[in-house]
């Protein structure tokens, strides 16, 4: 074999080996690298707000390496059922008064007729988003319909006639619709169960960080604990009723529908409380990172302990420890008041900085931030949040940020948690806006490369 042929042979062998490696990466492994998209995370949190459309989100499980055609079709059908169910609940009060004049119909009969009629009559429903969760083997779909288009169809005589005719003459379809609604509620219950698992992790985080704080701080965070406990109680009751097939076929459906709405309202309230508080928003994110990367952790603690009190002019130091060698950055979020009704937050990159650029930490070793005595308490006083981000790869924006700092500490001013969350996520390389019109605070996704976060707070006072 001459030299050229031998080189070609070696190259082909290498190419063949690489092809085998690529083929060994099954679709499931490829999917596993993806993270929950922002639109779905917002839906699961109860904070998704879609302007100008009605929407439905649901999933179908699959068993193979990736979802098949039937799995994807089932997910879309379930999302369509969810949209029609949401629509039937939201418009039910508009129809009940008029329908009461035509007969004595129960709440569940009216809801079923609206649900089935929407499913059969509405046109213009589109598939907006889809995503495959290879970890839980679920294929998710979002469908939407333009609100103006839907509202016009609701007002048309054709739709009204369908609703009335179904109530008066098509009780078989009413019964089938009630069964479908039961299926929608069961799907929702699986989502509520996932949320409860997440909330348990969040409560553990809050207990760890707030337990050593003062009475006033503990009382301020007791309300989120109460809301989550209320959700847990409703979730258990709802779950018990859904698991009884006899009750599902009876008049208990009306109660189940009301309970489902109460749980959805609780999710919205909890999401609002979390996003309205910097510490809760970061702690909520910390739980997501831990779920995504359970083998990679980082911890931060004020030198005086979790939730400790500090006073004007006092030096502050933080201890950071990671489970593996990584790069870190530390962000300090403090409050600045401007007027009685205005609150802004100063987000300061404490570390790395111009004085200490080496942000690599060794696995299992404690790194002290503020060891040079450069950090001290200054007004305004109150609860200040400190969050650490750890990444196996260096943050891509560090050099540019340090240039902009011009020898001091880099800072940004924001009016809500979105800016601070974006600042924390920047530099990881995979922060992409969602295609759906979700709130700005939710338009980030977890990085594909392994990362970990942790959050603590201190309470600062005047002397």
Give the pLDDT confidence score for residue 320 in this predicted structure. Answer: 97
Structure tokens at 90: 């939201």
Give the pLDDT confidence score for residue 414 in this predicted structure. Answer: 82
CB 425 within 8 A of CB 444: yes
pTM of the model: 0.81
Q: Per-residue pLDDT tens, the chain, 463 aa: give them.
A: 454 444 444 443 444 433 343 333 333 333 334 578 889 999 999 888 889 999 999 999 999 889 999 999 999 999 999 999 998 888 887 776 666 555 677 778 888 888 998 888 888 999 999 999 988 999 999 999 999 999 898 888 888 888 888 888 888 888 888 889 989 999 999 999 999 999 999 999 998 888 777 777 888 888 899 999 999 999 999 988 887 755 555 567 888 888 999 999 999 999 999 988 899 999 999 999 998 889 999 999 999 988 888 999 999 999 999 999 999 999 999 866 544 445 678 888 999 988 888 899 999 999 999 888 878 888 878 888 999 999 999 998 888 888 888 878 888 888 888 888 888 888 885 444 333 344 443 344 445 467 999 999 998 888 7
309-311 vs 451-461, strand pairing mode: parallel
Give the pLDDT confidence score for residue 3 in this predicted structure. Answer: 46
Half-sphere exposure of 419 (CA within 13 A, CB side): 15
DSSP 8-state class, residue 315: B
Give the pLDDT confidence score for residue 191 in this predicted structure. Answer: 93
Q: Closest by alpha carbon to 41, among 220, 223, 222, 292?
A: 292
Residues with Cβ within 8 Å of 258's Cβ and at least 6 positions away in sequence, in order, are: none
Give the helix/strand (H/E) hosting 400. Answer: helix 398-405
Please report where in the chains the tokens 């924390």 appear, as a residue. Answer: 424
CB 231 within 8 A of CB 200: no
Please report where in the chains the tokens 């459906």 appear, as a residue. Answer: 253
Domain ranges of the chain: 26-275, 286-461
Give the helix/strand (H/E) hosting 141. Answer: strand 138-146
DSSP 8-state class, residue 57: E
**Which alpha helices (DSSP H) does 25-170 contain, by range?**
27-32, 38-45, 69-100, 107-121, 147-155, 157-169
Give the pLDDT confidence score for residue 436 in this predicted structure. Answer: 37
Half-sphere exposure of 177 (CA within 13 A, CB side): 25
CB 424 within 8 A of CB 29: no
The C-alpha angle with vertex 91 and arms to 129 and 182, in degrees rounded to 5, equals 65
Give the pLDDT confidence score for residue 98 in this predicted structure. Answer: 63
Q: Residue 126: left if φ>0, alpha if ψ -120 to 50, beta else—which one?
A: beta
Q: Residue 124: left if φ>0, alpha if ψ -120 to 50, beta else—which one?
A: left
DSSP 8-state class, residue 381: P
Neighbours of 307 (CB within 10 A): 22
The C-alpha angle with vertex 269 and arms to 267 and 274, in degrees rounded to 5, equals 95
CB 125 within 8 A of CB 80: yes
Query: Rounded to whole angstroms, how far apart are CA atoms 435 and 255?
Result: 36
- Evaluate the omega torsion of the peptide bond into residue 380 and state whether it is cis, within 30 degrees of 0: yes
Give the pLDDT confidence score for residue 137 in this predicted structure. Answer: 93
Give the helix/strand (H/E) hosting 345. Answer: strand 343-351
Q: Closest by alpha carbon to 49, among 190, 153, 147?
A: 147
- Chain centroid, CA 108 distance in Å: 31
DSSP 8-state class, residue 441: G
């Amino acid at each position: 074999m001459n030299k050229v042929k031998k080189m070609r042979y070696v190259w082909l062998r290498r190419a063949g080996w690489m092809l085998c490696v690529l083929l060994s990466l099954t679709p499931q492994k490829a999917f596993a690298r993806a993270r929950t998209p922002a639109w779905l995370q917002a839906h699961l949190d109860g904070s998704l707000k879609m302007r100008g459309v009605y929407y439905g989100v649901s999933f179908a499980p699959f068993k193979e390496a990736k979802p098949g055609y039937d799995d994807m079709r089932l997910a879309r059908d379930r999302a369509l059922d969810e949209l029609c169910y949401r629509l039937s609940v939201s418009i039910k009060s508009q129809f009940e008064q008029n329908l009461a004049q035509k007969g004595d119909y129960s709440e569940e009969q009216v809801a079923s007729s609206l649900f089935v009629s929407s499913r059969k009559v509405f046109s213009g429903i589109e598939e907006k988003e889809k995503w495959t969760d290879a970890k839980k083997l679920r294929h998710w779909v979002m469908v939407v319909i333009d609100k103006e288009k839907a509202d016009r169809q609701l007002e048309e005589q054709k739709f009204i006639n369908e609703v009335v005719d179904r109530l008066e003459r098509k009780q078989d379809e009413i019964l089938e619709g009630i069964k479908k609604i039961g299926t929608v509620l069961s799907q929702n219950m699986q989502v509520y169960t996932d949320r409860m698992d997440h909330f348990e992790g969040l409560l553990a985080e809050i207990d760890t960080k707030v337990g050593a704080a003062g009475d006033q701080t503990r009382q301020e965070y007791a309300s989120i604990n109460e809301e989550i406990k209320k959700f847990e109680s409703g979730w258990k009751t709802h779950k018990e009723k859904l698991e009884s097939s006899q009750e599902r076929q009876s008049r208990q459906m009306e109660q189940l529908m009301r309970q489902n709405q109460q749980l959805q309202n609780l999710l919205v309230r909890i999401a609002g409380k979390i996003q309205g508080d910097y510490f809760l928003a970061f702690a909520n994110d910390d739980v997501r990172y831990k779920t995504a990367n359970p083998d990679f952790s980082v911890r931060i603690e004020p030198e005086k302990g979790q939730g400790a009190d500090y006073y004007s002019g006092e030096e502050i130091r933080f201890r950071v420890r990671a489970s593996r060698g990584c790069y870190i950055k530390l962000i300090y979020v403090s409050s600045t008041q401007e007027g009685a009704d205005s609150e802004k937050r100063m987000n300061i990159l404490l570390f790395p900085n111009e004085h200490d650029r080496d942000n690599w930490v060794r696995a299992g070793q404690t790194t002290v931030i503020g060891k040079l005595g450069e950090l001290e308490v200054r007004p305004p006083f109150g609860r200040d949040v400190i969050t650490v981000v750890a990444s196996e790869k260096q943050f891509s924006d560090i050099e540019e940020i340090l240039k902009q700092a011009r020898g001091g500490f880099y800072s940004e001013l924001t009016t809500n948690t979105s800016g601070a969350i974006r600042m924390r996520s920047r530099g990881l390389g995979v922060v992409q806006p969602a295609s759906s019109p979700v709130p700005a605070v939710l338009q980030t996704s977890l990085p594909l490369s392994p990362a970990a976060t942790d959050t603590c707070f201190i309470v600062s006072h005047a002397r």
